[in-house]
Structure 1
Amino acid sequence: MPKFNEHEKQHIRELLLNKGKELFVQYGLKKTSIDDIVQACGIAKGSFYRFFPSKEELYYEILRQEEAFTGDIIAELKGLDLPPAQLIEKLFYDSFQAIERSPFLSMVMRGYDWAQLIRKLPPEAMEEHTEADQQLGRELFAKWQKEGKLAPLDPDVITGMLRAVLLLSQHRQELGPLFDDIIVQLIRSIALGISAKPEKAPRS
């Protein structure tokens, strides 16, 4: 088995991630074999296992990288001084746009590969993934509640609302030509509904 220096390891790992993503988007997890991946990368099959124990582990790592957009959006929002409803609206809409821009995430949201991924990955990996998603939303929404920007709802419920909006990205065809307007108005309505309402001044 060939030995790789650190530069070669980094190059091969990036190649596996990039070519793997292309193949998964084109054929799905089930129909993409490790042979397909190594052939696209121009490496030996044995070399694949030096980086990932299975194609599911490769798929999962690609998923983690693609979902990194959430951290970027949250970091941007922290530096903005916007009214609560606009802040929430931007979070929801930017997240929705990120899903629409990513063929890989769009595929994942359709759920085609999810059952196989759950079966093949170690249970602790899936639990960690689910908890990491929840925790990110939980911390942000709890912070906004303390700052008086959000209504006193369960942060996990708000995270679930965000996920429900993201799932709508797969129903563009069913909703027809008004899809974009529907999404904008839906997100705006949610943002207005869950943002903290300013207290009314007492009557004199």
Structure 2
Amino acid sequence: MPKIYSDLEKKNIKKRLQNAAADCMMKYGVKKTTVDELVRIANIPKGTFYLFYESKELLLFEVILELHTEIENSMFEDISKIITSMNPDNLTNIIVIAMKKVCESCLLRIMTSNDIEVLSQKLPKEVLEMHLLHDDDSAEKILELFPNAGSLSKESISGAFRAVFFAMIYKREIGEENFYESIRIMVKGIIMQLL
């Protein structure tokens, strides 16, 4: 019979699993992270893992989404602080800072090792579709800042920002020395089209 956990124990176990997942993704990537390693780090029985997650991929994706949301919320908070003095340069700076945070997190390692593709193949289709809808909602928030954006759809703006985001995979090929300046040029180009 499975052990019954209190709400506090459940919260604690889930947090330990999420921390273990972030740690493992940084060290090993998605493919080499195992449920055995996750439960060892979280110090829980393997059977307990499956009370919380159907697969390691769902846990890893949840951690990725939480980190993505945290960075995105920070970006929108910074944008709200400049709303009355917003211009292409200061908005570009905020978006580039958010992208730097991505580069400093496990997200870049996942993207550059093709782990995101492996993860995508093992996730339910509806989970991925929900994430894309979330990206479109974020693009809609950005579009709301630019009432003169005209005929640009939230899907095309979302796609443009996603393309810049995925350019981080090619940081070395773009040139690490000038990488963020190159990203800045692309982001500012998108913002100028929104004006």
Q: For the superposition of Structure 1 and Structure 2, which TM-score range results when normalised by the shorter chain?
A: 0.7 to 0.9
Aligned Cα RMSD in Å?
A: 2.2
**Alignment partners' CA distance in 2, 1:50 and 1:100:** 32
User: Residues 180, 29 of structure 1: CA spacing in aligned structure 2 closer, same or farther, 3 A cutoff?
Assistant: closer
| Contact 2:161–2:187, Cα closer than 8 Å, also in 1 | no
In structure 2, C-alpha distance between the alignment counterparts of 1:135 and 1:111, rounded to whole Å: 27
Matches within 5 A, 1:25-36: 25-36=26-37
Moved more, 176-185 or 21-30: 176-185
Contact 1:28/1:112 (8 A) holds in 2: no
- Give the SS at the match of 1:166: helix
What TM-score do the two structures reach when normalised by structure 2?
0.85
5 Å-filtered alignment, 1:1-204, equals 1-68=2-69, 69-80=71-82, 81-102=84-105, 104-110=106-112, 112-141=114-143, 143-146=144-147, 148=148, 150=149, 152-174=151-173, 175-191=175-191, 193-196=192-195
CA shift, 1:144, in A, is: 2.2
Q: Which has the larger radius of gyration?
A: 1
Higher helix content, 1 or 2: 2
Percent identity reads: 24
Q: Secondary structure at the match of 2:145?
A: helix
Q: C-alpha separation between the residues in 2 aligned to 1:178 and 1:96?
A: 14
Q: CA deviation at 1:127?
A: 0.8
> Which aligned segments of 4 or more residues in structure 1 are displaced greater than 4 angstroms?
none
Q: Contact 2:22–2:60 (CA<8 Å) still a contact in 1?
A: yes
> Gapped runs of 5+ residues in structure 1?
197-204
Q: Secondary structure at the match of 1:138?
A: helix
Equivalent residue pairs, number:
191
